[in-house]
A = this chain, B = another copy of it.
Amino acid sequence: MKADPMGVLVGAHFLDGDHACCEGALAAGCRMVFGYPITPSTEVVERIARRFPMVGGVFIQMEDEIASSIAIQGAAWGGKKVMTVTSGPGMSLMQEHIGFAAMTETPCVFVNVQRGGPSTGLPTLPGQADMMQARWGSHGDYEIIALSPNSPQECFDLTIVAFNMSERYRVPVMFMMDESVGHMTERVIIPESTEIDIEPRRLTRAQPSEDYELYAPEEDLVPQMPPVGAGYRFHVTGLTHDEKGYPVMNAWVQEKLVRRLVDKIRKNASEIAINQEFELEDAEVVIVAYGITSRVVQRTMFLAREKGLKVGVFRPVVVWPFPEDRIRELAGRAKAFVVPELNYGQVYYEVERLVAGRAPCRLVDHGGGALHDPADILKVVEEVLR
Contact = CB atoms under 8 A, between A and B. Distances in A.
Interface of A: 66, 87-89, 91-93, 95-96, 98-100, 102-104, 114, 116-125, 127, 129-130, 132-133, 135-142, 237-240, 249-252, 254-255, 257-259, 261-262, 343-346, 349-350, 352-353, 356-358, 366-370
Given A103-B121, A121-B239, A137 B254 contact: no
Contacts of A125: 249-251, 254
30 contacts: A87-B139, A89-B96, A95-B137, A99-B118, A100-B118, A102-B119, A103-B118, A103-B121, A118-B138, A118-B140, A119-B138, A119-B238, A121-B239, A125-B249, A125-B251, A125-B254, A127-B140, A133-B136, A137-B138, A140-B343, A141-B343, A141-B344, A141-B345, A250-B369, A250-B370, A251-B367, A254-B367, A255-B369, A259-B344, A352-B353
A288 to B, nearest CB: 15
Contacts of A121: 103, 140, 238-240, 254
Contacts of A366: 251, 255
A350 B136 CA distance: 14
Nearest to A344: B141
A105 to B, nearest CB: 11
Question: Which one of A91, A117, A252, A262 has the highest number of Cβ atoms from chain B below 10 Å of its Cβ?
Answer: A117
Nearest to A127: B140
A11 B127 CA distance: 52
A118 B133 contact: no
Contacts of A238: 119-121
A132 B136 contact: yes
- 5 closest A-B pairs by beta carbon, nearest first, are A117-B140, A118-B140, A88-B139, A251-B369, A356-B357
Contact of A120 (B122, B237, B250): B237
Contacts of A99: 88-89, 92, 117-119
Given A122-B239, A137-B137, A357-B357, 8 more contacts: A129-B139, A133-B138, A141-B367, A251-B367, A255-B366, A258-B368, A259-B367, A356-B356
B369 A254 contact: yes
Contacts of A137: 92, 95, 133, 136-138
